[in-house]
Structure 1
Amino acid sequence: MILPEDCIREILEQLSEDKRTLYSCLITNRTYCQFVVPILWRNPWPTFNSLTNELERIYWKILGKTIIKCLTLETKQKLSNQFQIYLNPSLLQKPLFNYVSYIQIIPVGVINQLIRNNFEEIINYNNGEQLEQIFNKEFWELFIKQCKIKSLEIPNFNIFEYPESKIHLSSLSILKIFISYPKEMIIELSKNVHTLKRIEIFLIYIYEDTMNDIENLFISQKNLKEINFMFIAGQKFIFNNKKSIDYLSNSLKILELCSCICLSANIISSFINLTELKIFYHISLYHDEGIEILSNVILPKLEILSLVNVKGEHLSIFTKLIENTKGSLKILYIHIQKSSPIPSSSIDYYFNIIKSTCPNIEVLPIWLISVFYLKNFEDLLISCPKIRKIIFHFKSIFTPNNNFIPIDIVLAKPILILLSLKSSILLNNIHLIGRWSFSSLDLQEFFELWKEMKRKPLKFVFNNNIYSHYIIRVCEYYHQKGVIKKGTINYTTPCTYYDDSK
């Protein structure tokens, strides 16, 4: 039986994130090739740290040559005749596909990579700066004229100098922009682009009139759902237009704050339909300015809260924010910096708030540091009947007298037994992070009890820094028995000891 082409296309679309499989399909036959090439070329750029330096350089050279082939013959002749740039005869040939026309995502750095990896010798030999500007202009003109762009990181010039941009940016859905870029360009974006669903704003050198222009950009969108503010310490974004606040209060679903809290508590709380809030800090550039305002933020529809690279000393502030979600929270991710202890009083407060205000929680991080918290933990499991994933973190603590206590080992057996007997029937994902102590018999007893209680097959992740063969053997055995469906056991060097692919 031969599948209709529409079915083949749909199947391949479902594999759009699996490039390895798509590359295999590419050489199957002509039909597959015609469907796969446009999918692969939507976002052809290598991801950060995905390749070694040498492989990345080779990748950019091959990619660049293919893109150069897509330049018009007129442009190639101009480079050769006007600027004396020799192009290999193979680059003058017309490509099998117009690959560039399929590109939908353009980060601003890709053009610099294309120039550096394909014309570096020419630029170094000649008038480097002038030639670099010429190449930059030609590549941008190629993309603007031929790509139906969905995601764009705006360059530092008015992209609307190209008349075609008004057409080819008409379906843009993701925009990344520096607030310091020319005012005229932001105004042009407001006039010509109305389809944005996500805006990422880099806050550098903020001026009041620029903030007004950004607010107008917000209002000009038909369906803006996500905003990401990225900024340096000390920068604040102040809303001056009530119309923009009213618009975002109805429209905005996801808010991300990177490196600092740049909005007031009242403004964040005004986004009443917000369902996801993400706060991310860079460890090397940690600025806690404004973090205290989070305890005054009220988001009654928030379902997902992510706090990444935060400090343990601020857990009580985050817990107050959790309390102010009024029971709507479903997914909670808190990643506390490795060297940042947590006050013991903050852990108590956190447990009590989760028990009393989070009946719908499904994904939950926990800090268990001694058996004294077992009763609290049992009450929490009973109070949260929808938990499907639980992440146990092992952390050092501060006592009420601010004495630092480095806890070396946490006994795992009583916790595992409680999980088997008292946790939600939906629970099927357990992560143990840190130095958890249990014997081979303890682990077997847990898995046998899990099996006896007819619980769902389990994803079991154990992240420790002490190598032990018995953990591997026990997990492999219960993986074969179907008690564990997948998982990893990580030591100093992460390793997968049983199948995590099914």
Structure 2
Amino acid sequence: MVCQLPVDCLNEIFEYLEKNIVTLHSCLLVNRLWCKVSVRILWRDIWKSYIPSRILNTLIACLPNESKNLLRKNGIFISTPTLKYPLFNYASFCKVLPINEIYLTIDDFLKIENFNTPISLLRVRNHVMTQEIFKMLMSQITSLKEITYYLNVHDESISNNINFIYFPGTKECLTNLSELNCGSNINSEFFYQLSKICCNIQSLIIGFGYNISNGLKDLISSQNNLKYLSLIQYYCSADWLDIIPSFTKHSNTLIKLKINGRNKYGSLSFIAAFKNLQELDLLGCCTSQEFEVLQYVIFSKLQNLKFSRECPKIEMLIKFLEINGKNLKEFHVPNSLHLLDLLDINILCPNLKNNRY
């Protein structure tokens, strides 16, 4: 007689396979119990591991009959296999919501099925289908962990109208949201409503577009335990000076900071407020002028320091390392900074485990 491992034991084993998609997929095929356990893990972040069109077909199959009928009334064709309700409630397993990925997948789906349909009608159908998919996700997902939402640069008028904040179940779904990756120019109402629901975001990545929605300040200020902040400055990005006070409110909790792109509207002196930083990553944004204030700031917990593409003057860097090098474990500077070869870096940073310069 074959001995069957308990569900709890299987679950603990499969958790180690979360990033091994091929092996995890093989577990689906062993038997129903293995399938039941592994499918929950596989679907947490399903958009990274499966073909988007197949994921969408599965989500359509999960839609309630009321939503499927609404799609038909709006001229959206649903194939026969999709009409059958699936073996599992796959939507309930999702923990990551890539809004852009879903929107673009629906857009491609409709263009294939309706290649002769006018663009204006496709937009209407896209909106209807997107809303029904998100309505289902909000009602079925018990605790969403991550959202990614950037405007579609090719058609911002559509993607900026994606709004699921008012759907039933949204509050319960988003209360424990811990990661948000978003554009600064998402409509303000989205940020306003999100700030009322999500107060425990720990990781926030913001790509600065041509403007900054007023609601973004509210969202940032409403967080209680922000630990990781990443600011991405695009070529034609807006002035972000007004939003800096919202960041510095989290000076006690923030431990990781990454800035990608030059701050065209002011210095990096606001970084000095984050005295508990453990990781600081400055990508293409740190000239000597911008680093002038930071060279004297004490970051007693700093362990990882990284400069990419640009670096302050060698004397400024030495002053900074004299103050903060003691606890550094990783240190990266551009390869062009050959002057560091003249230094005994181990004297300034005695605990280095990894360095590249």
Same fold (TM over 0.5): yes
Change (3 A) 1:3 1:332: same
Change (3 A) 1:291 1:134: farther
Change (3 A) 1:319 1:135: farther
Match of 2:93 among 88, 102, 112: 102
Structure 2 residue 55 is the aligned partner of structure 1 residue 63: yes
Provide the aligned C-alpha RMSD in A: 2.8
Match of 2:138 among 144, 148, 152: 144
Match of 1:113 among 104, 119, 143: 104
Q: Which amino acid aligns with 1:113?
A: L
Change (3 A) 1:40 1:153: same
Match of 2:77 among 86, 96, 120: 86
Q: Which residue of 2 aligns with 1:156?
A: 160
**3-state SS in 1 of match to 2:229:** strand
**3-state SS in 1 of match to 2:12:** helix
Q: Which residue of 2 aligns with 1:330?
A: 329
Listed as ranges, the gaps of 5+ residues in structure 2 are: 150-158
Q: Which residue of 2 aligns with 1:129?
A: 123
* Distance in 1, Cα, partners of 2:93 & 2:60: 15
Change (3 A) 1:167 1:34: same
Return the TM-score normalized by structure 2: 0.83
- Please tell me whether the aligned partners of residues 96 and 146 of structure 2 are also in contact (alpha carbons under 8 angstroms): yes
> Deviations for 1:124-170, whole angstroms, at most 9, x for unmatched residues?
32222222222222222222222232100236244323243222111
Q: Which residue of 1 aligns with 2:230?
A: 228
* Distance in 2, Cα, partners of 1:331 & 1:289: 18
* Distance in 1, Cα, partners of 2:224 & 2:191: 17
How many angstroms does 1:312 deviate by? Answer: 7.1
Structure 2 residue 273 is the aligned partner of structure 1 residue 276: no
Structure 2 residue 270 is the aligned partner of structure 1 residue 267: yes
* Distance in 1, Cα, partners of 2:326 & 2:81: 63
Change (3 A) 1:314 1:38: farther
How many angstroms does 1:357 deviate by? Answer: 1.8
Higher relative contact order (CA 8 A, sep 6+): 2
Q: Which residue of 2 aligns with 1:293?
A: 290
- Please tell me whether the aligned partners of residues 291 and 312 of structure 2 are also in contact (alpha carbons under 8 angstroms): no
**3-state SS in 1 of match to 2:291:** helix
Pairs aligned (count): 336
> Deviations for 1:411-449, whole angstroms, at most 9, x for unmatched residues?
xxxxxxxxxxxxxxxxxxxxxxxxxxxxxxxxxxxxxxx
Answer with 320-329 or 86-95: which moved more: 320-329
> Deviations for 1:230-250, whole angstroms, at most 9, x for unmatched residues?
1225755336786863x4121
- Please tell me whether the aligned partners of residues 314 and 339 of structure 2 are also in contact (alpha carbons under 8 angstroms): no
**3-state SS in 2 of match to 1:256:** strand
Q: Which residue of 1 aligns with 2:153?
A: none
* Distance in 2, Cα, partners of 1:90 & 1:205: 43
* Distance in 1, Cα, partners of 2:59 & 2:315: 52
Q: Which amino acid aligns with 1:139?
A: I
> Deviations for 1:238-297, whole angstroms, at most 9, x for unmatched residues?
36786863x41211011111122477443201101110112234xxxxxx5756323532
* Distance in 2, Cα, partners of 1:8 & 1:30: 12
- Please tell me whether the aligned partners of residues 300 and 326 of structure 1 are also in contact (alpha carbons under 8 angstroms): no
Change (3 A) 1:239 1:132: closer
* Distance in 2, Cα, partners of 1:3 & 1:276: 42
How many angstroms does 1:116 deviate by? Answer: 3.7
How many angstroms does 1:196 deviate by? Answer: 0.6
**3-state SS in 2 of match to 1:332:** strand
Q: Which amino acid aligns with 1:131?
A: R
How many angstroms does 1:315 deviate by? Answer: 6.4
> Deviations for 1:362-417, whole angstroms, at most 9, x for unmatched residues?
11224xxxxxxxxxxxxxxxxxxxxxxxxxxxxxxxxxxxxxxxxxxxxxxxxxxx
* Distance in 2, Cα, partners of 1:240 & 1:129: 33
- Please tell me whether the aligned partners of residues 231 and 260 of structure 2 are also in contact (alpha carbons under 8 angstroms): yes
* Distance in 1, Cα, partners of 2:287 & 2:127: 41
* Distance in 1, Cα, partners of 2:353 & 2:326: 12
Change (3 A) 1:319 1:3: farther
**3-state SS in 2 of match to 1:15:** coil
Change (3 A) 1:356 1:277: same
How many angstroms does 1:311 deviate by? Answer: 4.2
Change (3 A) 1:272 1:185: same
Structure 2 residue 356 is the aligned partner of structure 1 residue 357: no
How many angstroms does 1:105 deviate by? Answer: 0.8
Q: Which residue of 2 aligns with 1:174?
A: 179
Pairs within 5 Å for 1:389-404: none
Structure 2 residue 187 is the aligned partner of structure 1 residue 190: no
**3-state SS in 2 of match to 1:69:** helix
Q: Which residue of 1 aligns with 2:204?
A: 199
- Please tell me whether the aligned partners of residues 286 and 310 of structure 2 are also in contact (alpha carbons under 8 angstroms): no
Change (3 A) 1:251 1:119: same
* Distance in 1, Cα, partners of 2:148 & 2:273: 28
- Please tell me whether the aligned partners of residues 294 and 321 of structure 1 are also in contact (alpha carbons under 8 angstroms): no
* Distance in 1, Cα, partners of 2:314 & 2:23: 43
Answer with 126-135 or 320-329: which moved more: 320-329
Match of 1:40 among 39, 42, 48: 42
Q: Which amino acid aligns with 1:33?
A: C
**3-state SS in 2 of match to 1:125:** coil
How many angstroms does 1:67 deviate by? Answer: 1.5
* Distance in 2, Cα, partners of 1:65 & 1:242: 44
Runs of 4+ in 1 over 4 A off after TM superposition: 233-236, 239-244, 288-291, 311-321
